[in-house]
A = this chain, B = another copy of it.
């Protein structure tokens, strides 16, 4: 049976735009792995009438309803009460969960405020979805031909709850298997990628091939559907090969989490170390590398030289060079890359200098002009980019371009 799910996020703060609904992404990705389709996702506020209305609509069009949010201790946490009413169930105190919540507060040396008790009330006869990452347990039940799962809202709880509790519960329902692979591309926009692969993608129904634009990169998702995982996977392989033939080295990897990951893995494989010298990116490049556990196997450290004097003092950029070419120049980027290589004793040095904006641009060097240098002791390659965008995008694209340049120099 092809199950179809609807995700309902409960929370006025999402409707008001105070926070972004990342839980929907968490739940949807997991459902995708299980071969469960999601055709709608909805957000309602902390309002029982509108939540009830949304649930009634969902009952009509979905086999599985998964809610996120509204399980907490405050007066506007109303999900369980409302969903229980929609399905004619009572809420019942679960002693074990109450003790768990009390114990959580004791361990922190804090008193449990009374409002936390409501988290231990659950729909009668439900399956409790234990929450080891927060205080509010989730729950699941089957009623009126609908599977209902309720998960907590905070992402650091929702993520493991979906993976460790909801997915095992749902696995029993699913009989189709979807396998996806993500081909990751840097330096080509979505419409350019689509233009190059359309002739193969348009005709395909299984597997499917679709491009997605992500911040700073493009992703091509190949998805195969079959009765079991290995048959589904086998469908994707010839398509992946075709894409590699078409797109070549714009592809930085398949099923890899990020450019930073690929760079670190390659450095480790080659037994090399790296150090970073940043100006306009302000630490973003070293942050990207150190996002990953085990970065210390290859990353020695970085210098953020936000003033010219610091470039001279810590990166040995000659004063005359700065006078002659300015900080935003090919020459300065190269000197920064070579300087940090020596200062930290690394095999690879990276230097980034540019104008992130919104101020600081000129006709000759507009906002978004950034020079990225990679020095490996044999050569120093400098790339100039121009991203005429907002400050955050200029910084992000520059740091990613630096990673891509390191990748290319390592793969040469």
Contacts and interface: CB of A to CB of B under 8 A. Distances in A.
Contacts of A212: 13, 18-19
A358 B293 contact: yes
A25 to B, nearest CB: 4
Given A282-B287, A302-B306, A303-B314, 17 more contacts: A13-B212, A17-B28, A18-B214, A20-B24, A74-B211, A76-B210, A113-B192, A115-B195, A154-B213, A283-B285, A286-B306, A290-B395, A291-B392, A300-B306, A309-B345, A314-B343, A314-B344
A178 B319 CA distance: 55
B39 A45 contact: yes
B17 A39 contact: no
Interface in A166-224: 190-192, 194-195, 198, 202, 210-214, 219, 221
15 contacts: A14-B41, A15-B28, A15-B38, A16-B29, A17-B26, A41-B43, A57-B57, A72-B191, A76-B210, A113-B195, A282-B286, A283-B290, A291-B395, A300-B307, A302-B303
A335 to B, nearest CB: 16
Interface string A319-342: 000000000000000000000000
A39 B47 contact: yes
Number of chain A interface residues as a range: 35 or more
B290 A287 contact: no
A192 B108 CA distance: 13
Given A75-B202, A283-B284, A359 B293 contact: yes
Contact of A300 (B31, B296, B310): B310
A282 B295 CA distance: 10
A337 to B, nearest CB: 16
A19 B25 contact: yes
A94 to B, nearest CB: 19
Contact of A21 (B20, B76, B282): B20
A50 interface: yes
A357 interface: yes
A299 interface: yes
A282 B282 CA distance: 11
B302 A296 contact: no
Nearest to A112: B191
A156 interface: yes
A391 interface: yes
Given A40-B43, A40-B44, A289 B300 contact: no
A304 B304 CA distance: 8
Contact of A296 (B211, B289, B307): B307
Given A40-B43, A41-B43, A57-B57, A75 B198 contact: yes
Nearest to A221: B18
Nearest to A211: B74
